[in-house]
A and B are shown apart, each in its own frame.
Chain A
Amino acid sequence: EADIYQTPRYLVIGTGKKITLECSQTMGHDKMYWYQQDPGMELHLIHYSYGVNSTEKGDLSSESTVSRIRTEHFPLTLESARPSHTSQYLCASSGRTIGNSPLHFGNGTRLTVT
């Protein structure tokens, strides 16, 4: 049973469109993360948040933006989608430290930009 929800699961969209990938969690976690996952590659952190109104860029440069207005909600937005944005996007959340509590992942959004 998932405690962290991502929508949509699959999205095919044309170049230049604005899109928002939704992520919500019901565990009350302060920390939330967005990862980009491509086949045969390590997960790359693109954004994270340690609480409401707090957002930071991860180690992989991304043209996307995020917001954290509510604890449970961490949407990711692409203002103008391009084919290079085609990838799987995974949202995750955690408790105070990953040493003491695991990362919980959503099932991902597979984005294809044509």
Chain B
Amino acid sequence: AQSVTQLGSHVSVSEGALVLLRCNYSSSVPPYLFWYVQYPNQGLQLLLKYTSAATLVKGINGFEAEFKKSETSFHLTKPSAHMSDAAEYFCAVSASGGGADGLTFGKGTHLIIQP
């Protein structure tokens, strides 16, 4: 069985500060890992994904994430927060990378940007 744990249901940072959203996973096989973002009143959109290529993955809007197998982590970072980054962020894991019926989402982290 696979699972995802996102530490912190709410994270607050100042504009211009580093953003760090934590995600730990469990999977019996090498996983596919994803970060999705949900802006208010919208659906989710893909930020970035890890599919067993480079361990440092760059995504849209200046976000990146590093796959660390030894720590079973896939934390999301951005060097400098912008007000437009305020949103809900979801980490997700898939053992097979096949259909989304095999995709498990975390509970989400609400990112708050302080002016």
Interface residues of A (CB under 8 A from B): 4, 9, 31, 33, 40-43, 45, 48, 50, 56, 58-59, 90, 92, 94, 97-100, 102-103, 105-108
Contact = CB atoms under 8 A, between A and B. Distances in A.
B41 to A, nearest CB: 7
Main secondary structure of the interface of A (DSSP, over half): loop
A38 B14 CA distance: 27
The 8 closest A-B pairs by CB, nearest first: A99-B97, A105-B43, A102-B46, A42-B105, A43-B105, A105-B44, A42-B107, A107-B43
Contacts of A4: 43
B72 interface: no
6 contacts: A31-B100, A40-B107, A45-B100, A99-B51, A99-B96, A108-B42
A16 to B, nearest CB: 28
A90 B46 CA distance: 15
A98 B100 contact: yes
Contacts of A100: 51, 97
Contacts of A59: 101
A105 B94 CA distance: 17
A80 B33 CA distance: 37
B43 A33 contact: no
A26 B90 CA distance: 25
A99 B49 CA distance: 8
Contact of A107 (B34, B41, B94): B41
Contact of B97 (A33, A98, A103): A98
Interface string B13-47: 00000000000000000001010100001111110
Contacts of B44: 43, 90, 92, 103, 105
Given A59-B101, A99-B32, A103-B36, 13 more contacts: A9-B41, A33-B101, A40-B9, A40-B107, A40-B108, A42-B4, A42-B90, A58-B101, A98-B94, A99-B51, A105-B45, A106-B43, A108-B42
A87 to B, nearest CB: 14
